[in-house]
Amino acid sequence: MSEPPSATSAVPEAAAPPAGDAIRVEGLSKLYRRTLPGDRLRTLKSALLRGSLTRGLSREESIAALEGIDFTVARGEAFGVIGGNGSGKSTLLKLVAGMLKPSAGRIVVDGRVAALIELGAGFHPEISGRENVYINGAVLGLTRRQIDRRYEEIVEFSGLADFMEEPVKNYSSGMYVRLGFAVAVHTDPDVLLVDEVLAVGDEAFSHRCVRRIEEFLASGRTLLLVSHSLDLVEGLCDRLLWIDNGRQRLVGEPRRVIDAYRQEVAEQEGEAHHAAKLQREEGGERSEELRWGSRQAEIAAVRLLAGGAERYHLETGEEAVFEIRARAAEPLTDFVFGVAVSTPRGFECWGTNTDLAGFVPGRFEGEATVRLTCPALRLAPGEYVADVAVHSRDGAPYDYMRRALTFTVTAATGGIGVYFPEHRWEFTGGIRWDDGQPPP
């Protein structure tokens, strides 16, 4: 079970011996100057006189993109950075790459750095893939001869042999990434910085990238990866840093950081969902996209109940009740109530309806309350959404509410996937554990 996140939990893991550090970041802050109208001349003046846009600015004139970041990355380590949009991840990467100068604090990077900051950055759209490989390689510090030697390898890795003479403006976004990544990893940097871009490649290429990164790490090189794909960072990284609004929240073992991050996102969403729901109840319809149907029957309210109260958060195995209040203005003789639980990404975990359960509709008129009770809802820890609908037996919707409920499931012990059966570990023979309570 992950620790509850808190603003003070930014305790770095025990630092590796300095000699083995590939990246060391101490007390790092980065301010940006706010763009004020008619301020151009002052911007120029401060840039010229101080060599900085933000030195000597008051708090109102600047925005802190990052504040108080401290971490070290050991050589050979894969270090991930997660956090919401605008949390400062990319700024951090640019600082480590040396593109931006810290407003305060220190960054020490040992060795040659290659950075993949953005899709197709550093490529000239008008010229061929081949020429771009040479330009990109030269920017990363290779001589023409060194690139000559690696050219075949780069092309083979990118899988773009047939497109090398084509101007890169005709490339798809996936092709951009493939070529950019191929060049970056083949320039043998000591430290590779990757921002997000890997998610764009197709499955096969992603696998090749991951394999290549693993080889890269095995040879003692270092990776700093920024990503929204928690699955990717979990699979690849040894440790994670979670930044939230420019502040360091947690550094540590991936599972633990991701759990803490997910939990907070779920809580925020729960609150937001609750607030949105209140607003809806006060008046106004749900947006069309999330709700459709003929409205011959109408869903008035949907709640998730546990322990007799409305909840947005369940412990796995708890009794959970999906409650639907509905009304039909005209009498209906053909009706089915259904509930489907899925992950926010759309993976369906479980769904059922009154038809599947064998109920044959008789008559529905006026108001009614439908409760679906799960004596033990055994979902794996994570976030879930539920769609709720009333429709005819042939599937024509009367009222379909997408994401009618959003809730988070937690568990006392860890687990991945969507299903969390009751389980226990047993051990016999010559095995001893230093710690670990038997699961409840």
Partner 1 sequence: MFRVAFQIFRFRGLLATLTSRELKARYRGSVLGFLWSLANPLLLLAVYTFVFSVVFKPRAEGAEPYALFVVSGLFAWIWVSTSALEGSMSLIANSGLIRKAVFPAELLPMVTVLSNLVHLLFAMPIVAVAIVTGRVLGEKVGGIGALAVPAIILLHLPMVAGLALGASALTVHFKDVRDLLANLLTFLFFLTPILYPLASIAHLRPVWWLVRLNPFTPFILAYQEALFVGRFPEPTLWLQMALVSLVSWALGAGIFERLRETLVEAA
Told to check if 44 binds partner 1 by CB under 8 A, we report: yes
* Pick 85 or 428: Cβ nearer partner 1: 85
Three-state secondary structure call for residue 39: coil
CB of 188 to partner 1, least distance (A): 16
Site for partner 1 in 121-160 (CB under 8 A): 121-122, 124, 126-127, 131, 134-135, 138-140, 143-144
Residues 69-98, mask of contacts with partner 1 (x by CB under 8 A): -------------------------x--xx
Residue from the set 48, 218, 360, 431 that interacts with partner 1 by CB under 8 A: 48
Instruction: Select the residue interacting with partner 1 from 1, 36, 99, 272 (CB under 8 A).
Output: 99
Nearest residue (CB) to partner 1, 132 versus 342 = 132
Between CA 292 and CA 305 the distance in angstroms is: 24
CB 374 within 8 A of CB 270: no
Is residue 51 a contact point for partner 1 (CB under 8 A)?
yes
Q: Are 240 and 387 in contact (CB under 8 A)?
A: no
* Beta pairing, strands 297-306 & 309-310: antiparallel
Minimum CB–partner distance for residue 133 and partner 1 (Å)? 11
Distance between alpha carbon 137 and the CA centroid of its chain, in Å?
30
Task: Specify the residue, 33 or 391, whose C-beta has the smaller distance to partner 1.
Answer: 33
State which residue, 118 or 214, has the beta carbon closest to partner 1: 118
Please say which residue, 48 or 309, places its beta carbon nearer to partner 1: 48
Angle among Cα 241, 249, 11 to the nearest 5 degrees reads: 80
Burial class of residue 70, CB neighbours in 10 A (0-12, 13-18, 19+): middle
Instruction: Give 198-232 as a 3 state SS string.
Output: HHHCCHHHHHHHHHHHHHHHHCCCEEEEECCCHHH
Does 117 interact with partner 1 (rule: CB under 8 A)? yes
Q: Is 16 in the site for partner 1 (CB under 8 A)?
A: no
Which residue number, 90 or 229, has a Cβ lying nearer to partner 1? Answer: 90
Q: Would you give the DSSP letter of residue 305? A: E
Nearer residue to partner 1 within complex by CB, 186 or 291:
186
Give the DSSP H/E element, type plus range, for residue 397.
strand 397-410
- Report in angstroms how near the CB of residue 118 gets to partner 1 at its nearest: 4
Integer angstrom CA distances of residue 430 from 286, 437, 438: 60, 19, 18
Residues contributing to the site for partner 1 (CB under 8 A): 32-33, 40-41, 43-44, 47-48, 51-53, 94, 97-101, 113-115, 117-118, 121-122, 124, 126-127, 131, 134-135, 138-140, 143-144
